[in-house]
Amino acid sequence: MDTMYLTALVVAGAVYVIASILLFLFGANLTALSLTTIRRGAAFRSALRQRQTDADQASETKVIDLTESLPSDLPMVTIQLPIYNELYVATNVISSVAKLDYPKERFEIQVLDDSTDLTTSLVASLVEELHREGIDIVHVRRDDRSGYKAGALAHGLKTAKGELVAIFDADFVCPSDYLNQTVGYFCDPKLAFVQARWGHSNRNYSWLTKLQSLAIDGHFMVEQMARGLKGYWFNFNGTAGIWRASAITDAGGWTADTLTEDLDLSYRAHLCGWHGTYLPDIEVPGEVPAQMSSFRRQQHRWARGSLECARKLLPMVWRSTANRSVKFQATAHLVAYGVHLLLLTMALVYPLVVLAIAHFEALNSLYGVGYALAVSSLAPAVFFITGQRQLGRPVWRQLPLMLAMITFGSGLMLNTARAALQIRTKPSPEFERTAKFGISENQAEAGDWKHKRYQLELDRIVYFEALLGFYTAFTVWLAFDHRNWGIVIYGSIFTLGLLAIVIVTVAQAISVRRSEVVRSRKIELERQEILLPTTK
């Protein structure tokens, strides 16, 4: 047998074993977090609710929860609303924070508007109206978009009056009692931030929004909760949270050297001795992307940003005085998107692994190792089930959705690989926003998102995803021919995930192109409705 061929088979086998071990560790840790939430989550949430109930009963004014631990003067809160070209949702978030059940003299609103379209006119009109009603609100414009969202937040912080800073992205709607339920936790002098749970205003809009909602629920009801329960470091999620202004400054402020400024600042705060609190029973609804291209872009940004933070922060994490379990969990958290890179590695070496096992009987043990470690593939199912159970939703009805999410998620492996590669090849990327269309669960009320602006061009990565999908399909055929049933199963999952993403992306792109005439008419009508009243 050719020496080079033999070497390739041996190397493929070694890569397969190493990737299997790493995937097993990721899966085992995810399962451990799920079990922590199952064991302690209910008691934790019950204690939080009881604390709020007791404080509410003790409060005569009913102005704020947890007043027993608050100073006599309520803290001043600055509410920052970073906005960039959010025509369909910007007014909703501004209106919602203006209705907060908190003394008007104790909060201000900063609309940090970097928009380059009609959003600015719409926002300016609403800000002026609210200002006349006695709301302390300012419309902040910058000369350029330097630093993107991080730059806007840092710019607003220079003039912020509040000792606390609440942040809401444009597609979120703030509950009226949000401050009443959260600011009391800052009686803890070392608390840097409070994070509420994301809800989903358009969860049932489409199967794509259902899948995303399922995954986000798992993150908040398993990962965030378990890390909080165990005292591990976790992050502010960029919106629906409150920061102590002095903690932001102490941690070095907002920086734009990663695409996930929220994760970056959170870990720098932990390294400075601060900590966060996660409040799972406070839900702030936001919109999840209905367009596959927007979802892909969002995942690309999150993946790249997380890996950038890992490269930047892990050396500091391991030099810190935190205990080893905290350091291990911080590492697992920051490199979590590495799972997709491992799945891609497995997909690429599977054919050689099949051939190696077929040619060398002694390598059958390799096959056995793969089966032994494959138990980690159950971790995502446990993760999703736990998240839905914590929210009190019927699990069995959603099992098909969970299986679809596991398959669909594997199809993002190439998207994540590109994000990791661009850390080196494209070191200073532009912050690409995730397009939101003001979609609710009622499709009739929401309208067709394809008839609105902010449409994205077809991402050329779909061609490579299609090629990889056919490659994994070949793997399935090869594994079936050699009766390697494990690789048949996993190869099939990869194939279905990749081709499903390709088909949906292309189908939506075609539909968007066909809607171009209608969209142009509606965009012109929007322009007239927004601009004409101001030119009379």
Catalytic residues: 114, 262
Residues paired with residue 78 on neighbouring β-strands, in sequence order: 108, 165
- DSSP-derived 3-state class of residue 198: strand
Neighbours of 93 (CB within 10 A): 24
Nearest Cα to Cα of residue 167 among 238, 119, 220: 238
Question: What's the token pair of residue 321?
Answer: 């005085």
Residue 283 neighbours by CB under 8 Å, 6+ apart: 175, 196, 197, 198, 199
Q: Is 180 exposed, middle or buried (0-12, 13-18, 19+ CB in 10 A)?
A: buried
Please tell me the chain's helix, strand, coil percentages from 3-state DSSP, rounded to the nearest 5.
Answer: 65, 10, 25
DSSP 196: E
Q: What letter would DSSP give residue 195?
A: E
- Residue pair 280/216 in contact by the 8 Å Cβ criterion: no
Task: Please name the residues in contact with 173: beta carbons below 8 A apart, sequence gap of 6 or more.
Answer: 92, 93, 96, 201, 284, 285, 286
The CA distances from residue 501 to 134, 197, 291, 466, 497, in Å, are 49, 28, 11, 9, 6
